[in-house]
Amino acid sequence: MANCIRCGRQLPPLTFKRICQWCVQHEKAQRGEIDEDAVQPVMAVPWVQRESSISLTKILFAANTLVFVVMVANALMNTGSPEFTSADLQWGANFGPYTLSGQWWRLVTYMFMHGGFFHIAMNMWCLWNLGTLSEALYGRWTFAVIYMTTGIAGGLASIAWNPEVVSVGASGALFGLTGALIASFYLGEFSLSGISIKATLSSLLFFAGFSLFLGVMPGTNIDNGAHVGGLVSGLIFGALIALVAPAHDQPVRRASVVLFVVMLVAASALGVQRWRGSQFGYRLLADRQASADRMIRDLQKKIAQNPQDASAHYALAGEYLAKGQFGDGEAELKRVLEIQPQNTRARMTLGATYLNQDQPKQAEEEFAKLVLQVPTSAGGHAGLAMALANQQRHAAAIDEYKIALRLEPQATEIYYKMGVSQAQLKRYDDAIASYLKERELNGDDPDLEIALGEAYEAKGMTTQAQEARDKAAQLRAGPPN
């Protein structure tokens, strides 16, 4: 919030007054312009701190920046390059097939993700300016609600406009702030001069118009759906605040405005779900089959423009593998490793691809390179162990399983797989111990109980073997009705 330039008291939101009511009347009294017995308004002393000195704008700025830094650091660790692709979706990008299939949280997380240095730089510059003005105008919590609600509205508009486009960025929320400010300047009453209001309003209108114009230009890759959704919801929000609850000391009115807009956005979400969600069968499309062909074409075009784009090759490999085109996926992963030999994520995926195609020797080569690059990779040692076990080299596999477990003691299925290799070597006591440890860590499983029963049987422990087989049958049958 802004402070009085005379005494430092906090000024109410939605005002451009530079001097508080107390100081205005006090100065009039000093000039003899009011009666001596006039009642001086009661206001909090200026040294009372009502809100933290850290503004919400700064907190949002820091959150966006932190997420971007983590994404860049992850890309550097996995690929050796700061470049990353939001198409991986694991970070929480807004993508219709996922969002409309129940992952509604993506309407929030996408606002804190950005696709590159220029993208975040522009959005954070806008956030710093628009956020500071909006927070001073509306107050911290109203500003927070406007930012989040219009950002969600922008995400809804994006998947309504084109549900198969991956959307990231804070621009939906920033357009929401822009719309709210435009409506407030048109409809609100301010002590600021008309010239100043007109200049600020002109700047906001130019920003909105120019950004929307850029969004329709070919090759810009700008999500105008999110921009329009944020702008329209922001206009509604700002207009209602200016007309119904402009003063901060009207919490019931302000809360009613907030509730109305939130319900409006929720109703819009229901409408988008009914309109667009039916085409995805209300299921989580983990393989993105609905857009796989389009994604492949888009990535092929991107690679044609820049054949050295390792992130595009890796994303294309993922699309091929999701469709079961293992040969094409393998070729793309090899291309990634030609461009970035230190890309451990691509090498791990290539090794797993070889395992899935029953090519354990090739898988062994890739996982051996991986653990040489990163000796602390539990997944690399586990993958190497599985490749060795598939070649009946169980003793060497057990050694690798043990290394993986030292690095990641809570890993899933590693004890089970190690028990299988131990049983193959007729080390049944070790196998039983491994199976029991797996059950302790990760719960009951029918395959685990069958393996445990076989190990008990080999040891001549028939009672325990029968109990394990009975338990496996019970687990397969499921809970009783």
Instruction: Give the CATH number of domain 57-280; options: 3.40.50.1820, 1.20.1540.10, 1.10.1270.20, 3.30.565.10.
Output: 1.20.1540.10
- Contact 382/375 with Cβ under 8 angstroms? no
- Contact 211/112 with Cβ under 8 angstroms? no
CATH number 1.10.3720.10 is the correct assignment for the domain at 292-356 = no
> Residue 39: is its pLDDT beyond 70?
no
How is residue 408 written in tokens? 């990641």
Strand-pairing partners, residue 10, are 3
Q: For the chain, what percent of residues have pLDDT higher than 90? A: 41
Task: Classify residue 72 by burial, with Cβ atoms within 10 Å: 0-12, 13-18, 19+.
Answer: middle
- Contact 200/130 with Cβ under 8 angstroms? no
Helices 171-187, 194-215: axis angle to 10 degrees equals 150
Where do we find the tokens 């700061």? 82
Could you tell me which of 11, 7, 8 has the C-alpha nearest to residue 26? 7
Q: Which fold has domain 358-481?
A: 1.25.40
Q: For the chain, what percent of residues have pLDDT higher than 70? A: 79
Lowest mean pLDDT among 80-89, 232-241, 332-341, 395-404: 80-89
- Contact 131/56 with Cβ under 8 angstroms? yes
Q: Which residue has the higher pLDDT, 52 or 275?
A: 275
Contacts of 411 (CB under 8 A, 6+ apart): 378, 382, 404, 405
> Residue 235: is its pLDDT beyond 80?
yes
> Residue 151: is its pLDDT beyond 90?
yes
Could you tell me which of 153, 139, 133, 144 has the C-alpha nearest to residue 251? 139
Task: Classify residue 206 by burial, with Cβ atoms within 10 Å: 0-12, 13-18, 19+.
Answer: exposed
> Residue 236: is its pLDDT beyond 90?
yes
> Residue 51: is its pLDDT beyond 60?
no
- DSSP label at residue 165: S
pLDDT mean over 3-32: 63
Contacts of 416 (CB under 8 A, 6+ apart): 434, 435, 438, 445, 447, 448, 451
Return the pLDDT at 5: 53
pTM, two decimals, is 0.53
**Domain 292-356 shares a fold with domain 358-481:** yes
How is residue 182 written in tokens? 């435009």
Using one digit for the tens of pLDDT, what is the confidence trace for 133-144? 888 888 899 999
Using one digit for the tens of pLDDT, what is the confidence trace for 385-418? 999 999 999 999 999 999 999 999 888 889 999 9
Half-sphere exposure of residue 473: CA atoms within 13 angstroms, side-chain side: 7
pLDDT mean over 286-294: 57
How is residue 108 written in tokens? 């929030």
Return the pLDDT at 394: 95
Where do we find the tokens 């006090």? 26
- Contact 320/335 with Cβ under 8 angstroms? no
> Residue 46: is its pLDDT beyond 60?
no
Q: Which of 20-24, 248-252, 258-262 has the highest mean pLDDT?
A: 258-262
Strand-pairing partners, residue 167, are 94
Domain extent listing, the chain: 1-50, 57-280, 292-356, 358-481
- DSSP label at residue 214: H
- Report how far residue 401's alpha carbon sits from residue 403's, in angstroms, rounded to the nearest whole number: 5
- Report how far residue 4's alpha carbon sits from residue 19's, in angstroms, rounded to the nearest whole number: 5
- Report how far residue 57's alpha carbon sits from residue 136's, in angstroms, rounded to the nearest whole number: 10
